[in-house]
Structure 1
Amino acid sequence: MGPVDIVSNPYGLLAATFLLYVAYWLVQRRRQHAVFSQLGIPYVKPHIIYGSNDVLRKPGILVTDFIGQYIQKYGKVFGFYIGSKPMLVVADLDLIRQVLVKDFHNFSNRPKLVVRAQPVVDTVVGLRDQRWKDVRSVLAPTFSMVKMKCMAGIMNQKIDELLTIIAETHARGEPVEWYSTFQGLTLDVISECALAMKTDCQRNQDKDKFFVAVKAFLKNAINPAVLLALYFPFFANFLSYASNKLVLSGRMTQMIVEHLKTVISIRRRDLSTKYIDVLQLMLEAAESRVDNSGDGVETNEAALASDKERPKQTLLTDGEIIANAWVFLLGGFETTANTLTYTTYLLATHPETQERLYEEICNAFQTDDQLTYEQVKELKYLEEVLSESLRLYPPVVNFVTRECAQDFKLGDYMVPKDMTIVVPIWQLHRDPEQWPQPDKFDPDRFSSDAKATETRHPMSYIPFGAGPRNCPGMRFAQLEAKLALARIVKNYRLEVCEGTPRPLTFTIPTVAINPATPVYIKAVPRESNLKSS
């Protein structure tokens, strides 16, 4: 068939155009996959379409294992590809400090979202550059220590229900499945604190529509449409448009957005009622001038009086308030449930540590009443136990990523503009150079005596990230976890049973490392509590 025949035959023209496009695409993809080779950075050989994502998403393969394998092979700086996108893994602690802290101005953004979908684009996760700085500065006081004291009451109420459920489970002669139990607790807590939404997720979980919707959202967050955009970026704009047009078709998002719009409207009409939750704090911060210095605490009466005379300024849009309440829900649900599950598991499998913690709790308070923020703060060994649990099982393992704003010399390598830096927290927390016997559970690593003599690098322990873009809800998560653990250990002895997994196995569907199987542990009432009752 000659050129004239191809032109006169529309099917031939279409086939020729397609073949030319495929050839062009292959050349482009080969060029994209040559980035690390040109930079002199060791890298994992990519698949022409998937990069390394076909391996990362293979059943039974964890991203932590993948990264650990190639750190062993290539050293503490290496690259891999997700589709065509180069990802630079940096496990060198000095370079990590450069990225997250010292040269933050060049690494202030998280990577661009693959699909720019609402409402995540308006959150502290999706926002970029100056708008991220503005929103973060407004939200920072919301999670100050002073404000967290107000949240302790809500947390205690939900933990009361948790203890009742544990008692009922023990009365039936059954062990507690802690992962789902803690998921119910954390979703109840974050729903009321961030969304002003009273839920009942701790009971009848399979029938609770909101609980089911949130779990389904997280399970399907990495779906075929997102993968298509990863492998073929020209689909991303279409998918972003389609996602935003259909955003309210998402069951969970629709429930949250409509609820928050109603609550915000009601609260603006009723200014006389004082609400104590994160949503109210965001509303107040968004519509007032606040002091963002220090711990987010208002300065003095004179300053406040002066502030009242100034006109109020809208610092956040309603869309940004709703979006950030939505992302706080996602951030405060699964990660805290995981942390509580793993810490409970560690206490059950290390009874000597559990008894030492129990003694501290009993010495700190004698009654079974709800704990206050101040009481929990005095539990030093609890702090050590939780810190060691977070070292072994950090809340997120592949979420600390940064984008290079301009070409930048990082160590021995020139990192080009727009390249993504990946900080492998799992490997940092288990680095034998920083942590002798890294797989051993040893809370004394975080004792005051150990801290006084420690020589560990500050970047060797960053469960909530580091630098200006660390986790804003860190204090909230730690307070909730400490309250729950203290009250559980005060009332129950945790014991392994036939259903306790030995060892734990994991899955990483998105960014959090979740238990792969149910975590059954017996909760036996403490004798002192039986006598008092």
Structure 2
Amino acid sequence: MTIVTPGVDFLATGFFFLSLPVFTASILGKLHKILGGTPIPTWILGLAGVASVPIIATLRIIGIRMKHKREAAAMGAKMIPSPRGKWPGNADLLKSMLHNFLHGYPADDLVELLEEHGPAVNLRIFWSDLIFTASPEHIKITLATDFDNYVKGSRFQRAMSDVLGVGVFNSDGDLWKFHRSITRPAFTRDRISDFELFDRHAEIAIQQLKSRLREGHPVDFQDLMSRFTLDSATEFLFGHCVHNLKANLPYPHNAAYVPNTVQTPETRLSNEFSNAFLEAQFAISQRERYGWVWPLYELFGDKTKEHMKVVNAFIEPIVADAIAKKDNATHQGKEKDPNSEDGTLLDHLVQVTSDPKILKDETLNIMLAGRDTTAATLTFTVYLLSQHPDVMKRLRQEILDKVGPTRRPTFDDIREMRYLRAVINETLRLYPAVPIDIRETVNATTWPNPDPNDKPFHLPAGTKVAYSVFVMHRRKDLWGPDAEEFDPDRFLDERLKKYLISNSFIFLPFNAGPRICLGQQFAYNEMSFMLVRLLQNFSSISLELDSFSPGMLPPEEFKLAPGRKGIDKVWPKMTLTMYVNGGLWVKMQEANNA
């Protein structure tokens, strides 16, 4: 079987432009014979052939641009402003964005572009429209009020398909509705309130934490939370815990002594999965940044292939086991009702389909949501608590007053702890798990212009739209002059009514509209439970900067920047989801609950 890389496939689909020079030279050669006269020299035919590519491409670009302008005028709208780069196709802007993705702070360049051009900007990377916005009015239209006109789109789906397949996060229309319907039963009230499941894994995580701290070493809390949420997600969703928490925790790079440990095949596969899944996410997030030319970036090989071999080796046995159990139950006449809310998500899925690909894709999509996003939020919460001991003290006191030092919290306990929810919300505001998302217009449409005396903005059909809740959550005009400060009280005091209640679309950590996250309450419960257990056991948290590997902390020049970029002691980064560069190395003081 021949494997075609994305780059080769891209070149094949662009065969017209590849063959255009030969075609042009051939036509000119035949034309002179028909008209008679002196034969055209070969070098002129060759030059004309080569020149035909940029000429035809330029004429096509101009033609499309003129069509869009006429369309905008007919709709009483105006074109969204575009930056004018120094290089053709804004290639210098793309280069800067790719550099900042690797070496900058999240949304570098994008914030500056909005400040310069207004509430929306057309990046026009390689002459292809890419609209970027952080406006709640535009995001509300995209996600809710005009939902049907904004889809993931075939270009996004192609770029993501090697990792997300046809799962719920990478599908549209009836297929998306199908995935949504078969996923919903996993998130009933009873199931998301199964705190016994959380408690089992939280207990192992805290014991691992205590054991390593008692050795005198700091702990990579991001790694620990990734393990905790992976074990919780696999058991909750699939009834199959991978016991990633039982694997040995990493030691800091400067540890004086690292004992030799032997990993079991199961824990080794779990660790390899975590790393491979992060690398695969990085690869497909790069595809989005390269725009429509991303296949050329992978001309000599699919950059997700090797990582997905590891991911599939982890997922496929779980899926195969579920199919086998379902087939066995069918053979014994013990089939489950497909509409039943009992059992795990995978138990339900196999009643609907036995297609291994659909099951694997949906499994991977939900695991991404159930693991990476929650682990990221818990990580950033602990980081912020380490930097704000007053918040840590107040939160811990609420927990002790409501639950006590040892009792397991209940659903009602967590619902009544308003400061705990405020701390989580404030973390999600500053570091939303999914900082940037993509849609594509189906039909030409318009967006409102904040200037009532100006025309609305025009969006052509088939236009990619990128919106950033990360940028929106930090806008001072939406959240007040202290928007970049960590202050949970903004979700409790008069600022709540002044800003959020009057415009709920300024806070979207779990998306909105028909695609709002089904697991939102599950995530709040899991994060709240873990934080309660953590602060019952530990009274203080300190960030151990010396334990970060070289190059993992923010560059010195970040300190000169305004806002959180100049404040943050750690380096936030993102693929599809946010994470802390190099992990989060902390020490904690065990509480004296005697």
Q: What is the TM-score normalised by the length of structure 1? A: 0.81
* Paired position in structure 1 for 2:512: 466
* Paired position in structure 2 for 1:41: 80
User: Residues 261 and 286 from structure 1, CA distance in 2 versus in 1: closer, same or farther, beyond 3 angstroms?
Assistant: closer
User: Residues 263 and 12 from structure 1, CA distance in 2 versus in 1: closer, same or farther, beyond 3 angstroms?
Assistant: farther
Q: Report which stretch shifted further, 363-372 or 177-186.
A: 363-372
CA–CA distance in structure 1, aligned partners of residues 180 and 299 of structure 2: 29
Q: Report which stretch shifted further, 130-139 or 486-495.
A: 130-139
1:405 matched to 2:451? The reply is no
User: Residues 209 and 19 from structure 1, CA distance in 2 versus in 1: closer, same or farther, beyond 3 angstroms?
Assistant: farther
CA–CA distance in structure 2, aligned partners of residues 515 and 237 of structure 1: 27
1:434 matched to 2:473? The reply is no
Offset of residue 414 of structure 1: 1.9
1:284 matched to 2:284? The reply is no
Secondary structure of 2:116 counterpart: helix
Q: 2:197 aligns with which of 141, 145, 154?
A: 154
Which amino acid letter does the alignment assign opposite residue 57 of structure 1? L
CA–CA distance in structure 1, aligned partners of residues 579 and 68 of structure 2: 32
* Paired position in structure 2 for 1:341: 379
Which amino acid letter does the alignment assign opposite residue 531 of structure 2? L
Which amino acid letter does the alignment assign opposite residue 485 of structure 2? K
Secondary structure of 1:414 counterpart: strand
Which amino acid letter does the alignment assign opposite residue 536 of structure 2? K
Cα deviation digits, residues 124-154 of structure 1 (max 9, x gap): 111111221232133223223332123x322
CA–CA distance in structure 1, aligned partners of residues 407 and 221 of structure 2: 23
Offset of residue 162 of structure 1: 0.8
Cα deviation digits, residues 2-42 of structure 1 (max 9, x gap): 9599x999999889756644654465567678898885321
User: Residues 229 and 321 from structure 1, CA distance in 2 versus in 1: closer, same or farther, beyond 3 angstroms?
Assistant: same
Q: What is the aligned residue count?
A: 498
Whether the aligned pair in 2 keeps the contact of 1:186 and 1:333 (CA below 8 Å) is yes
Cα deviation digits, residues 54-78 of structure 1 (max 9, x gap): 2221132345122111111111111
Alignment of 1:89-488 (within 5 A): 89-109=132-152, 112-115=156-159, 117=161, 120-150=164-194, 152-202=195-245, 203-204=247-248, 208-223=268-283, 226=287, 230-232=291-293, 250-270=309-329, 280-284=344-348, 287=351, 314=352, 319-366=357-404, 368-399=406-437, 401-411=438-448, 412-436=456-480, 437-447=482-492, 451=496, 455-488=501-534
Cα deviation digits, residues 333-382 of structure 1 (max 9, x gap): 22222111110111122112111111211122235244333332232211
* Paired position in structure 2 for 1:513: 578
CA–CA distance in structure 1, aligned partners of residues 579 and 219 of structure 2: 17
Offset of residue 229 of structure 1: 8.0
CA–CA distance in structure 1, aligned partners of residues 465 and 569 of structure 2: 29
Offset of residue 394 of structure 1: 0.7
Q: Report which stretch shifted further, 207-216 or 72-81.
A: 207-216
* Paired position in structure 2 for 1:68: 111
Which amino acid letter does the alignment assign opposite residue 439 of structure 1? E
CA–CA distance in structure 2, aligned partners of residues 493 and 379 of structure 1: 18
Q: Report which stretch shifted further, 385-394 or 404-413.
A: 404-413
User: Residues 9 and 453 from structure 1, CA distance in 2 versus in 1: closer, same or farther, beyond 3 angstroms?
Assistant: closer
* Paired position in structure 1 for 2:557: none
Cα deviation digits, residues 412-451 of structure 1 (max 9, x gap): 0221111122222112111112212011111111127654
CA–CA distance in structure 2, aligned partners of residues 248 and 522 of structure 1: 32
Which protein has the larger Cα radius of gyration, Structure 1 or Structure 2? Answer: 2
Whether the aligned pair in 2 keeps the contact of 1:42 and 1:74 (CA below 8 Å) is yes
Whether the aligned pair in 1 keeps the contact of 2:156 and 2:288 (CA below 8 Å) is no
Unpaired runs of at least 5, structure 2:
1-24, 33-38, 71-77, 251-262, 449-455, 547-552, 554-566
Which amino acid letter does the alignment assign opposite residue 42 of structure 1? P
* Paired position in structure 2 for 1:522: 587
CA–CA distance in structure 1, aligned partners of residues 63 and 314 of structure 2: 44
Whether the aligned pair in 1 keeps the contact of 2:323 and 2:354 (CA below 8 Å) is no
Whether the aligned pair in 2 keeps the contact of 1:135 and 1:316 (CA below 8 Å) is no
Q: Report which stretch shifted further, 347-356 or 512-521.
A: 512-521
Which amino acid letter does the alignment assign opposite residue 517 of structure 2? C
* Paired position in structure 2 for 1:296: none
Whether the aligned pair in 2 keeps the contact of 1:50 and 1:82 (CA below 8 Å) is yes
Whether the aligned pair in 1 keeps the contact of 2:81 and 2:122 (CA below 8 Å) is yes
Whether the aligned pair in 2 keeps the contact of 1:194 and 1:277 (CA below 8 Å) is no
User: Residues 397 and 327 from structure 1, CA distance in 2 versus in 1: closer, same or farther, beyond 3 angstroms?
Assistant: same
CA–CA distance in structure 2, aligned partners of residues 368 and 342 of structure 1: 25
Offset of residue 196 of structure 1: 3.6
CA–CA distance in structure 1, aligned partners of residues 354 and 128 of structure 2: 33
Q: Report which stretch shifted further, 92-101 or 479-488.
A: 92-101
Unpaired runs of at least 5, structure 1:
288-313
Cα deviation digits, residues 295-331 of structure 1 (max 9, x gap): xxxxxxxxxxxxxxxxxxx479553333111111122
Offset of residue 461 of structure 1: 0.5
Whether the aligned pair in 2 keeps the contact of 1:404 and 1:420 (CA below 8 Å) is yes
Which amino acid letter does the alignment assign opposite residue 80 of structure 1? L
Q: 1:57 aligns with which of 95, 98, 102?
A: 98
Whether the aligned pair in 1 keeps the contact of 2:281 and 2:575 (CA below 8 Å) is yes
Secondary structure of 2:165 counterpart: helix
User: Residues 234 and 182 from structure 1, CA distance in 2 versus in 1: closer, same or farther, beyond 3 angstroms?
Assistant: closer
CA–CA distance in structure 1, aligned partners of residues 275 and 464 of structure 2: 28
CA–CA distance in structure 1, aligned partners of residues 420 and 68 of structure 2: 45
Whether the aligned pair in 1 keeps the contact of 2:405 and 2:537 (CA below 8 Å) is no
User: Residues 351 and 177 from structure 1, CA distance in 2 versus in 1: closer, same or farther, beyond 3 angstroms?
Assistant: same
Secondary structure of 1:232 counterpart: helix
Which amino acid letter does the alignment assign opposite residue 346 of structure 1? L
CA–CA distance in structure 2, aligned partners of residues 42 and 485 of structure 1: 45
1:87 matched to 2:130? The reply is yes
Which amino acid letter does the alignment assign opposite residue 215 of structure 2? R
Q: Report which stretch shifted further, 500-509 or 356-365.
A: 500-509
Whether the aligned pair in 2 keeps the contact of 1:138 and 1:286 (CA below 8 Å) is no
What's the Cα RMSD here?
4.0
Offset of residue 122 of structure 1: 1.7
CA–CA distance in structure 2, aligned partners of residues 78 and 223 of structure 1: 25
Whether the aligned pair in 1 keeps the contact of 2:233 and 2:371 (CA below 8 Å) is yes
CA–CA distance in structure 1, aligned partners of residues 237 and 52 of structure 2: 53
